[in-house]
Amino acid sequence: MPPTIKQSGDWGTLVRRIKKRKSGIGIDWKTIVRRIKTGKCTPIISYQVSGNHFSKQDQVVESWAKELDYPLQDRHDLYHVAQFASVNSRDSLSAKEDYLDFLKKRLVNKARSEFPASQKAFLNTLEDELYDLTFSQVATRLGHPKYETDQENPLRLLAELPMPIYLTTNYATFLEDALKAAGKEPLTEFCYWHDDLRDDAVSVFQTDPDYHPTVERPLVFHLHGLDAHPSSLVLTEDDYLEFLIKISEDANAIPRRISQALADSSLLLLGYQLNGWDFKTIFRGLITSKRSSRRLLSLSIQYELEERDISNTADVQEYLQKYFQKANFDVYWGDTQSFMQELWEYWENNA
């Protein structure tokens, strides 16, 4: 069995760092911990959590936009750039395959500038195998996500908590890797947001209707698709609209176990931006539309502001506080890593 986070040698260093930068004033940590203990806490995790394989997502999207000769000014907007790529591709799948291939090549090129010359043969071999590997596999072989210690990786901390269900909008399987490192056996599923996806993979909920996720064998449900199945990716604006329509019209698009978790547990939204389509489809399509009658009172959201979206910090925080309070969310003002480390400290002291 792998060592727990607390058993590792850097635990004291982590605690000292947490005490220096606490941001969770006013957060009901006691309720969150109680919900985790009783299996009534479900995290929803953005691709930005442990997305440190690139320095900044905007640079990646802008580079892809440049490669595509994207003609508009919003080159930082993945949803618009992907829509342009889809319109100019032979079919909708090609744009998604191209995007994943672009990410894999960019990872390898980044590694060439960072790795020592002794790794050249390894990188050449990896580049030759790119088309046979998923983005997750390429990233893992290159050592991503990279943190000085496991204690600084928010996914690693999440994986140590006794949660049976993890929801994510990340296409990659970094969360599954973290769960395996914690000694668990995760099961991976993705959302069938269009009918053709049912031919790509058989769901465990079809083969075993009585399946119940457990702490030891948790379910990782990829709401917006999985890189191993490019057609499952919710990537373009049209994809997000189709996703919203599907989940609103088809009760079977989201498995019953997932719907129950969304309705009956406290939710932790990690790493989302208010203006992102990934956030909008989850918050409006899956959370506020399904929780009105049984909404729990003590929920927590970590929200990270982008500097370019801020004109007056106090006004923005007041607006967001009111926005999320309507859905009974507390707002944590800080980054995901700080949130998870504060939660972990409270968990260890009160579990």
Question: pLDDT tens across 264-287, in order?
Answer: 888 999 988 888 899 989 988 888
CA separation for the pair 61, 76 (Å, rounded): 6
pLDDT higher at 210 or 230: 230
Q: Sheet holding 187-190: strands in order across?
A: 187-190, 219-222, 165-168, 41-45, 266-272, 299-303, 329-333
Q: How confident is the model at residue 325 (pLDDT cuts 50, 70, 90)?
A: confident
pLDDT at site 208: 85
**Cα R_g (the chain), whole angstroms:** 20
Query: What pLDDT digit, counting tens, does each position of 61-103 carry?
Result: 999 999 999 999 999 899 999 999 999 998 889 999 999 999 9
Q: What is the pTM of this model?
A: 0.89
Distance CA 32, CA 41 (A): 7
Confidence band of 298 (pLDDT split at 50, 70, 90): very low
Query: Domain limits of the chain?
Result: 11-52+148-350, 57-141
The pLDDT assigned to 205 comes to 84
CB 239 within 8 A of CB 195: no
Confidence of residue 3 (pLDDT cuts 50, 70, 90): low
CB 98 within 8 A of CB 64: no
Question: Cβ of 169: how many Cβ atoms within 10 Å?
Answer: 24
**pLDDT of 346 strictly over 80:** yes
Residue 340 backbone zone (phi > 0: left; psi -120 to 50: alpha; other: beta): alpha
Please report the pLDDT score of residue 16 as a whole number.
44
Q: What are phi and psi of 46, to 5 degrees?
A: -80, 165
Rounded-to-integer distance, Cα 73 and Cα 351, Å:
50
- pLDDT value at position 210? 83
Mean pLDDT for the stretch of residues 151-175: 95
Three-state secondary structure call for residue 331: strand
Looking at residue 97, what DSSP letter applies? H
Quick one: what percent of the chain has pLDDT higher than 70? Answer: 83
- Comparison of pLDDT for 41 and 10, the residue scoring more: 41
Beta partners for residue 331, in sequence order: 301
Task: Tell me the percentage of the chain whose pLDDT exceeds 90.
Answer: 54
Distances (CA, A) of 193 to 21, 78, 140, 247: 40, 20, 27, 7
Is the predicted pLDDT of residue 324 greater than 50, yes or no?
Answer: yes
Cα 90 versus chain centre, distance: 29
Can you tell me whether residue 73 is helix, strand or coil? coil
How far apart are alpha carbons 149 and 110 in whole angstroms?
A: 22
* Contact indicator for 300, 268 with CB cutoff of 8 Å: yes
Model confidence band, residue 25 (pLDDT cutoffs 50, 70, 90): low
The confidence band for 11, taking pLDDT boundaries of 50, 70 and 90, is very low
Nearest to 68 by CA among 90, 91, 54, 86: 86
- Residue of 340, 249, 314, 324 lying closest to 279 (CA atoms): 324
